[in-house]
Amino acid sequence: VTENRSDLEDLHLYATPREQRFRRFASLEFEGQLYMTPYDFIQAVTSDEPKRVKRWRSLSKQELNQILMETPPVWKGSSKLFRNLNQKGVISYTEYLFLLCILTKPHAGFRIAFNMFDTDGNEMVDKKEFLVLQEIFRKKNEKRERKGDEEKRAMLRLQLYGYHTSTNSVLKTEGEDLVPRSYWDTLRRSTSQALFSDLAERADDISSSLSDTTLLVHFFGKKGKAELNFEDFYRFMDNLQTEVLEIEFLSYSNGMNTISEEDFAHILLRYTNVENTSSYLENMRCSIPEEKGITFDEFRSFFQFLNNLEDFTIAMQMYNFASRSIGQDEFKRAVYVATGVKLSPHLVNTVFKIFDVDRDDQLSYKEFIGIMKDRLNRGFR
């Protein structure tokens, strides 16, 4: 990177927490825009810090073309896609946000996501429709930008989006006070706006000014002419969720079929606002003196439940337990009624032993929900 290093580091002051994390884990730069490799993305969602200090490596046009040439088509996707690609891939900032959305959504939400991109309703998503994502997330970001030096903010936009953006409104909004709380909400709220605004037309301009990425080639082919159906879209999202969970599980299992209950507690409490995790761990050690272990199926079922946390919260409020603690039977039933996920008795017991600080075999509903919302969003609530 030819720019002065201190100037680039100064941009961190104008970045949001998500932008800061992307810049910290990204390792590639092409024509001023930063990219993550698939390896970088996995690191960003499974580690607190990069394993080594990142120095953005400048890609040549030839190197980028070679990476894209080796990108497999969507029908060759698997739950090892990101691990197989490793360093041979480029992921933009808006795609990073999109992938984060996928990680926290229930399977029922996959159809909603697909329909949001399918603006013409033909049951297929083309490259032009998918690129509307760039504008929706960019506009969302403009409303979150930190005030300061306009030149530095312009440099930051170039790093994240690959082109200089104007401050003029692109989305037709009804008022500046109606800003959704998350990028998923932004996508959901912007669907009708995308249908009736100039976003689709702008996608042509965006496509001509930006380089292809691994995700675009994976979805739409090397010529960008292929279309994505729901089955392939669903499989990609499910594979990504599975891959990240496998990586987290394998990092603790040491090749075994289970992880310990304590390791499960460590994973649950990561990225949360719990300051003193030792009390939770000590409580669990005393309550479960003999290890039985947590299998991957149990591990995955719990995180499928977390992705349905909003529905579970509604179910619990309907049960009128919001103001008091709940027992294991009520918890297990509420999970199944709200999400369709059956948690094993051992997994439920382990969760209770982690969070049942006063050891009365009851779970504090409000405290549990608060901590799990942090964990679900990996620290970015």
Contact 75, 228 (CB under 8 A): no
Q: Percent of the chain scored above 90 by pLDDT?
A: 34
- Check pLDDT > 70 for residue 91: yes
Q: How far apart are CA 258 and CA 256, in angstroms?
A: 6
Residues ≥6 apart with Cβ < 8 Å to 259: 249, 252, 253, 267, 293, 294, 299
Q: The tokens 């409490």 sit on which residue?
A: 269
Quick one: which H or E segment has residue 228?
strand 228-229
Task: Compute CA distances 351 → 30, 234, 261, 287, 348, whole Å.
Answer: 45, 29, 9, 11, 5
Extract long-range pairs of 348-352: CB within 8 Å, 24+ residues apart: 349/288, 350/261, 350/264, 350/265, 350/284, 350/288, 350/294, 351/268, 351/302, 352/328
- Check pLDDT > 70 for residue 353: yes
**And the tokens for 237?**
């999202």
Helices 328-339 and 296-306 cross at an angle (nearest 10°) of 70
Q: What is the C-alpha end-to-end distance of the chain, expressed in Å? A: 32
Mean pLDDT over 293-322 rounds to: 84
CA 371 to chain centre: 18
- What are the two backbone dihedrals, phi and then psi, of residue 76, each rounded to the nearest 5 degrees? -100, 15
The pLDDT confidence band at residue 242, using thresholds 50, 70 and 90, is very high
User: pLDDT, tens digit, for every residue of 125-180?
Assistant: 999 888 887 777 777 666 666 555 677 778 888 888 886 544 443 334 444 444 44
Q: Are strands 28-30 and 33-35 parallel, antiparallel or unpaired?
A: antiparallel
In the DSSP assignment, the letter for residue 91 is B
Higher pLDDT, 348 or 177: 348
The pLDDT confidence band at residue 320, using thresholds 50, 70 and 90, is low
The pLDDT confidence band at residue 54, using thresholds 50, 70 and 90, is low
Q: How far apart are CA 91 and CA 243, in angstroms?
A: 17
pLDDT, residue 179, reads: 47
Mean pLDDT over 341-356 rounds to: 89
pLDDT, residue 40, reads: 95
CA-closest candidate to residue 243, choices 187, 184, 303, 185: 303
pLDDT, residue 176, reads: 42
Task: Compute CA distances 16 → 55, 76, 189, whole Å.
Answer: 20, 35, 22
- Check pLDDT > 80 for residue 220: yes
Q: Would you list the domain boundaries of the chain?
A: 5-167+177-239, 254-376
Q: Percent of the chain scored above 70 by pLDDT?
A: 79
pLDDT, residue 300, reads: 93
Higher pLDDT, 265 or 185: 265
- Check pLDDT > 80 for residue 1: no
Higher pLDDT, 151 or 188: 151
pLDDT, residue 298, reads: 95
pLDDT, residue 174, reads: 40
How many residues would you count in the chain? 381
Higher pLDDT, 137 or 340: 340
